[in-house]
Amino acid sequence: MVSLRRTGLALASLLVLSASASAADYRYDTAYSVSLGILPIARLTFRTEVKNDRYEISGRFRSSGLVDIVREVSADSSVSGVFAGNRLQPDLYRLDYTSGKKKSHYTITYGNGSAIDTKVEPPPKPRPQSWVPVTDADLKSVLDPIGALLISGDGDVCSRTLPIYDGESRMDLVLSPVGNAPFTAGKARGEAIVCSVRYVPVSGYKKGRKDIEYLKSVTGMEIWFAKTATLKLYAPVYAKIPTRYGTVHVSAEAFDG
């Protein structure tokens, strides 16, 4: 998930929810634009539905512009679970990922906050000796790629590490406080909390891979958070992701602020 197209999906897809739900039945649609510098390269759209204490978030990622000239990339993902104690507790995550003619399907089942079962279709090819395998210990107390960046309204937003598992790779996103900045997302305006982000690969990757080594050493990655009006959780409104090909920008086009 660390080439240009999968970096855009892996990290940008974490920015999936610019508005959430109340305790009553609720449905909300939102979208993010993704650009490489000033060039639009993709669009993310999401639907959040809550019924009683159950939630489901479904998303679609579609590449566009220059990316499609090289290889068309798309993804359909969803996560469902229980909303309790101002936290999203997932029980099932799915991802259908297409890159050109290659298609992959990932399903992760969660229990008590840990990933307890993973299915990948088609099965991955034999890994090289340089591959760092995912261990059972790596799957304890992990976050799904969709709900990972919805942060409880109490406590310091940026002083934390987010342990994320996407069905193949296990990674940590280490957040640190930077300050505040004004943001605009559609009709919403306000002040966002700015966090720097450091990418730390844990397992499920090939040692020495150029994209991995770049992301490990890169500086300037940021995520901006603002509090939603309904669930009172902090959610991303903007992200900046340096890559070897330029800086990817992910911007919310609407926000429940």
pLDDT in tens, 55-107: 898 989 988 765 544 567 889 999 999 987 667 899 999 999 998 889 999 99
- Name the pLDDT band for 153 (thresholds 50, 70, 90): confident
Share of the chain above pLDDT 90, in %: 51
Under 8 Å between Cβ of 138 and 203:
yes
Q: What is the mean pLDDT of residues 112-132?
A: 95
What pairing do the DSSP bridges indicate for beta strands 222-227 and 234-243?
antiparallel
| 70 or 134, higher pLDDT | 134
Length of the chain: 257
Q: Which residues contact 32 (CB under 8 A, 6 or more apart)?
A: 12, 15, 16, 18, 43, 44, 45, 46, 250, 251, 252, 253
| 83 or 17, higher pLDDT | 83
Lowest mean pLDDT among 10-19, 107-116, 181-190, 222-231: 10-19
- Name the pLDDT band for 231 (thresholds 50, 70, 90): low
User: Given a cut of 80, is residue 224 above it in pLDDT?
Assistant: yes
Dist. CA 103–CA 150, nearest whole Å = 28
In DSSP terms, which residues pair with 250 in a beta bridge?
A: 34, 239
pTM to 2 decimal places:
0.85
What pLDDT does residue 69 have? 45
What pLDDT does residue 158 have? 96
Amino acid at 36: L
Q: What is the mean pLDDT of residues 178-198?
A: 93
What pLDDT does residue 6 have? 46
Share of the chain above pLDDT 70, in %: 85
Which of 16, 49, 11, 3 has its CA nearest to residue 199?
A: 11
User: Given a cut of 50, is residue 15 above it in pLDDT?
Assistant: no
- Name the pLDDT band for 191 (thresholds 50, 70, 90): very high
Q: Which residues contact 96 (CB under 8 A, 6 or more apart)?
A: 75, 76, 77, 103, 104, 105
Burial of 117: CB neighbours in 10 Å, binned 0-12, 13-18, 19+: exposed
Which of 71, 73, 75, 80 has its CA nearest to residue 48?
A: 80
Under 8 Å between Cβ of 155 and 193:
no
Average pLDDT, the chain: 84
